[in-house]
Amino acid sequence: MDFEIILTILMGIGLSAASGFRVFIPFLVISIASLTGNLTLEDSFNWIGTLPAVITFSVATVFEIAGYYIPWVDNILDAITSPLAVIAGAVLMASVVTDISPLFKWTLAIIAGGGVAGTIQALTGATRAASSLTTGGFGNPVVSTVESGGSLTLAAMAIFIPIFAGIIVTILIIFAVKIILRKFFSKNTT
């Protein structure tokens, strides 16, 4: 496999993980990167790199971030964005991975892109639920700030240093799986 293809796969995985934190931030990042010529999207996704798309993703990002700063509304948003994050992860992966067969691209997009986004979204949901229970929702703005910053940072890293983003995502996935398994097994032993 060509090194450039591996880099685009790592980029897709990083962007997918970023969508697990926030759905619209990675779309805004790739939209701006494409519009400015810093990212080449797969041909059928070139619409993402247009000015109307940048404006749309900007507005959606502002509303998404603002909603996460309202205690308990953020928990409702988590429930809504969980399936959206999986879809976004798959779309983000497919939009940046170029020069491979459509079958391999979409298999990779659904399994790796959607799977990574869903795993990170599950981690953020568990973190937010714990914060809501322990602080009555007052600690959630701190969690929201970290998630938004993580999404922006990871999306930018995915585009400009995809190998490092891949390492970060691997660490996050291992951490998330450990937490999810611990919660699962602690419920089964009680």
Residue 190 has pLDDT above 60, yes or no: no
Number of domains into which the chain is organized: 1
| Spatial separation of the C-alpha atoms in residues 7 and 149, rounded to whole Å | 23
Distance of CA 41 to the CA centre of its chain: 17
Flag whether 189 is in a domain.
no
Listed in sequence order, the DSSP H helices in 97-161 are 102-108, 115-135, 140-160
Residue 38's alpha-carbon distances to 51, 141, 150, 155, 187, in angstroms, are 15, 32, 21, 13, 47
**What is the mean predicted confidence (pLDDT) over 94-120?**
95
Inside any domain, residue 188: no
Domain that holds residue 120: 3-182
| 163-179: pLDDT as tens digits | 999 999 999 999 888 88
pLDDT band at 156 (very low <50, low <70, confident <90, very high): very high
Interatomic CA distance for residues 88 and 61, integer angstroms:
13
Note whether residue 163 is domain-resident: yes
Residue 190 lies in a domain: no
Express each pLDDT in 83-97 by its tens digit. 999 999 999 999 999
Instruction: Answer whether residue 133 shows pLDDT above 60.
Output: yes
* Domain annotation covers residue 22: yes
Greater confidence (56 vs 79) lies with: 56
| Mean local confidence (pLDDT), 65-73 | 86
On whether residue 187 sits in a domain, the answer given is no
In a domain, 160, yes or no: yes
Q: Is residue 52 part of a domain?
A: yes
